Amino acid sequence: MGAGQGTTERILDAASELFAQRGYAATTTRAIAESAGVNEVTLFRRFENKRGVLAALGERFSAQMAGRAVAAAPDSETVRETLLRLARMEIAGTLQNGGLAIRLAFDAKSVPEVAALLGEGIPSNLEGLADYMAEQQGRGELRSDIDPRVLAEAFFGLTSSYVMYRMVMGIGDLPEDVATDEGIEQLFDVFWSGAALGGDGR
């Protein structure tokens, strides 16, 4: 990682932490710069303003979203392998950024730029995965009697939404079902048993 890339990542990491703690509106560019160990001019050169920092964070989140990553799934993977890999990615991303996502969801009610960011990212994540589900239904890999959007919603319900629910509820220790590969695979199998052909005896 070059020095420039390192500075960018430090700024984004600092912004992520401060947005999660204080909220978007209450966080200043000066506070972000100080936390990142850079001067405010450096932040402005890279992102222009706080909205630019938010947009860059949105891009970083998008790279960890199943709905975007599924387009690059290798042909050598089975559908189950692809979806299990994406489930692990979604859970890891939510464990890393879930606190920020929860705070931004609250901020979206009163801050237009935050609402715009979430309004772009969440639907595109859902639509990207729903498109993949529909494609696999057409190939006979998944049950065709379930709307592909419902399959996508169910997938997220047992991955990112599941982890965020536990965060909101304030569960202390990280539960085994999202802390280990075996636990995640068992959680995924709850989804897979209903989505795969033959999962309901058909």
| Digit-coded pLDDT (tens) for 5-55 | 599 999 999 999 999 999 999 999 999 999 999 999 999 999 999 999 999
- Asked if 125 contacts 66 with a C-beta cutoff of 8 angstroms, the reply is yes
Widest distance between CA atoms in the chain: 62
The first and second tokens of residue 139, run together, are: 């190939």
The whole-angstrom separation of Cα 120 and Cα 148 is 20
Q: How far is CA 119 from CA 61, 104, 145, in A?
A: 13, 11, 29
The whole-angstrom separation of Cα 83 and Cα 88 is 9
- The share of the chain scoring above pLDDT 90, in percent, equals 51
pLDDT at 124 over 90: no
Domains and CATH numbers, the chain: 4-57 (1.10.10.60), 67-195 (1.10.357.10)
Question: 0.85 exceeded by the pTM?
Answer: no
Mean pLDDT, the chain, whole residue set: 86
